[in-house]
Amino acid sequence: MKTQTSIRIEKEYFQQAKEILKNLGLSYSEAVNIFTAMIVKHKGLPFEVKIPNETTQKAIKEARAGKNVENISLDELKRMNNANS
């Protein structure tokens, strides 16, 4: 048996999510049902949620400020990955 519910979601995220899900062959409702089933199965969120440690928080702040960040193309990243394989 199904129940109807309503949720409040940021409009921009909702539209982007619907487009992504459409490309995956899913409706928003189907995706929410999958997520809900995963919450039940895992008895919590189906992914880890935690506050980053101090080192990670510092790295995030630096990256957002553009410090210690190296810009590389996808092709460069693929070459680097292939070289390490």
Instruction: Kindly report the pTM of this predicted structure.
Output: 0.57
pLDDT by 10s per residue, the chain, length 85: 989 999 999 999 999 999 999 999 999 999 999 999 999 999 999 999 889 999 999 999 999 998 988 888 899 988 888 988 7
Cα–Cα distance measured from residue 73 to residue 64, given in angstroms and rounded to the nearest whole number: 19
Encode burial over 67-82: b for 16+ CB neighbours within 10 A, e otherwise: eeeeeeeeeeeeeeee
Q: How many helices (H) and strands (E) does the chain have?
A: 4, 0
Burial class (CB in 10 A: 0-12, 13-18, 19+), 85: exposed
Sign of the C-alpha dihedral, residues 49, 30, 20, 74? positive
CA triplet 27, 19, 12: central angle to 5 degrees? 110
